[in-house]
Every structure is written in structure tokens, then in C-alpha cells.
Amino acid sequence: MKEKPALLPKSDTPTEARPNTAKPLRQRHVELAQRVYEVAINAGLNAGDRMPEQLLAIQCNVSRTPIRRALQLLAEQGIATIDPDGGYRMSNISDTSTGQISDLPQTEEDELFKAILDDLAARRIPTSQTLAALQRRYEASRLTVQNTLQRLLEEQFVERAAGQRWLFKPMVVGSEATAQSYEFRILMEPAALLSPGFKADPVTLAGMRQSLEALEQIAEENFDIQLAERLDYEFHIMIARACSNPFFQDALLNHHLRRRNVTAGGGTNIFRMRQSVRELLHIIEQIERNQMELAADLMRAHLRLLSFGRPRVVGRSIPPMPQTMSA
């Protein structure tokens, strides 16, 4: 008999020893936990402040029951603490530029999402699929597959085809697709910076600069590769969202979503990544100075260096920041 592929990680824990989780963690739980955290931050809550369930439920447009599940999840991650008098209090505040919680646990949909993309990238599965075929291959429930396909649809990885089929779009995988991706970005991202009405949110821009500056100060032996990759992605998303041309914006956002979740092959060049951080800081500096032509030139050079994949230096001969006259 042909052996079934077991691409999702299997637990070594015996079935009888596993905890009885009647309600498995779903993507919606994680998304609500992130939303609750954002609402708490926007409401000005600090470490030690109570997190009122009713206020959070109103702001998130849900009942108090899912809010309690979200607060429990935040407590498990050290973001909130259980109040002895009932309810929860804030215990930790993220210092990232976006306020995203980076350590939320993986859900069944997360695991399936990654497994499908990895298999597509490795050409282990065809690009045309049905819900039933995915259920059989990954031994997943119908609900898990439905939720995962919905996420893949929202992130522009798949589209509905005739009948009950789903058609996956081309991915940024392999040398040819990667070269084409950089070709697209070298044309589009500088153009986005030069589009009339380009306007980056000053707070988001300043937060990104601070995060990149903090990353730049980390010694090479302790360099945080995952943080660097996440900040690079958030930087390019920030540029796309600041573009005033909706067609440029949609094209760039969709492309970034499709390249974000593809597992990169080969080793990691930390020296090149550190150079890349400095290049992004130079681009931000020119945006803050409203030197958009120079920012676009630096963006083009940054992307070309990434496409070449070898260390060089960008940002030399940049004129100094003009001194402001004191009142």
C-alpha cells in the first residue's frame, strides 16, 4: 500500500499523555489576541493597568467569551497577567515599530499554511487542488483546510477555479522567479516613492528607524536574523502603503504577501543583512528630508544589491542633514 505523506510535524507524545484540548487553537483566536493587544495599546494602557473585558469586547465587536480566550492567550505569552481579584492586567508592552506580538503560538492553520507553501515551492504538489485532496494529503479537518484556503485567498496565493478546484498562483521560488521578482520591485518601489502624494506616516517612519537603529547596534555574533527579516518586510510594506497610487499600492502589497511566506533557500549572509539595515536607514533619512529622488535612487541600488547577492556599499556621498536654524 502506498504510504501517506506526513508533512505536518507529528508529536512524539503518546495519545493518552496529550492534554485534552476540546477546542484547538485557531487562527481567529490568535488574530483576536493581536487585536485585543492593539486596542489596549491605543487606549493608553500601561503595564499593571486592568484590561476591561467589556471595553475590549465593544472595540473588537465580539462578545466577552472570545475576549476571555484572547486574554488567556496573551497571559500565556506573558503579555498579560491574571489579576487575583478577577480579570487580567497588562504586564508587558511590545517595543516594535508596529506593535505586533511576534511570539504568539502556531495554530493548526499556521502549520497547514506553511506546509502547503513549502510543498508548492518544492513542486511536491500540483498547483490545482481541491479541498478534499488537501484534507487527505495533510490529514487535516475540513474546517482547518477551509480556514487555510481562505487565508491563502486573502494573501493572494490562490484563486477559485471552475467547480470545486483552487488554483495556486506562481510563487517567488527558484532563481528565475527570484530574478523576475527583483525586476518587478526595482521598477515599482522607486516609482512608489516618486508617486505624487507619497506620504509615510511620521510615527510609523520614526518607529521603523528606531527599530532598525537598535538592530544595527547588535553585535554580529548576536545578530537577530528573524528580526532583520521581519523589519525588512515591514519596511517595504510601509513604503507600499504610503504610496498614493492605489494600483501601485495593490500590486506591491500583493507581491510582498506572496514572497513573505516562501522559505528561503541557502545560507544567510549576516554581513549582507547588516549592510541592508544601513541601506534602509539611509532611505528613511532621505524620506524624512523629503529628498524623494535620492530616496528612490537608494531604493533602486538597495534592491539591485539584493538581487546580486554580494556585499557592496550603498549610501556613500549622501549630503549631510542640513542644520536647522535655532529660533
Model pLDDT, residue 10: 39
Cell of 131: 479541498
Model pLDDT, residue 74: 87
Residue spans of the chain under pLDDT 70: 1-27, 92-105, 171-174, 260-268, 309-327
The predicted-structure confidence for 46-100, as pLDDT tens digits, reads as follows 888 888 888 888 888 888 888 888 888 888 878 888 888 888 988 866 544 344 5
Distance between CA atoms of 93 and 116, rounded to whole angstroms?
33
In the chain, domain spans: 27-90, 108-168, 174-308
For the beta carbon of residue 132, count every other beta carbon within 10 angstroms.
11
Model pLDDT, residue 268: 62
End-to-end CA distance of the chain: 83
Model pLDDT, residue 309: 64
Residues 180/185/186/190 CA torsion (nearest 10 deg): 170
Write down the pTM of the prediction: 0.58
Show the DSSP H helices in the chain as ranges. 27-42, 53-60, 64-76, 108-121, 131-138, 142-154, 174-194, 202-216, 225-242, 246-260, 270-288, 292-308
Model pLDDT, residue 13: 38
Class of domain 27-90: mainly alpha
φ/ψ of 128, rounded to 5, equals: -105, 125
* CATH (residue range 108-168): 1.10.10.10
Q: Quick check: do 27-90 and 108-168 share a fold? A: yes
Cell of 122: 518544492
* CATH (residue range 174-308): 1.20.120.530
Model pLDDT, residue 262: 57
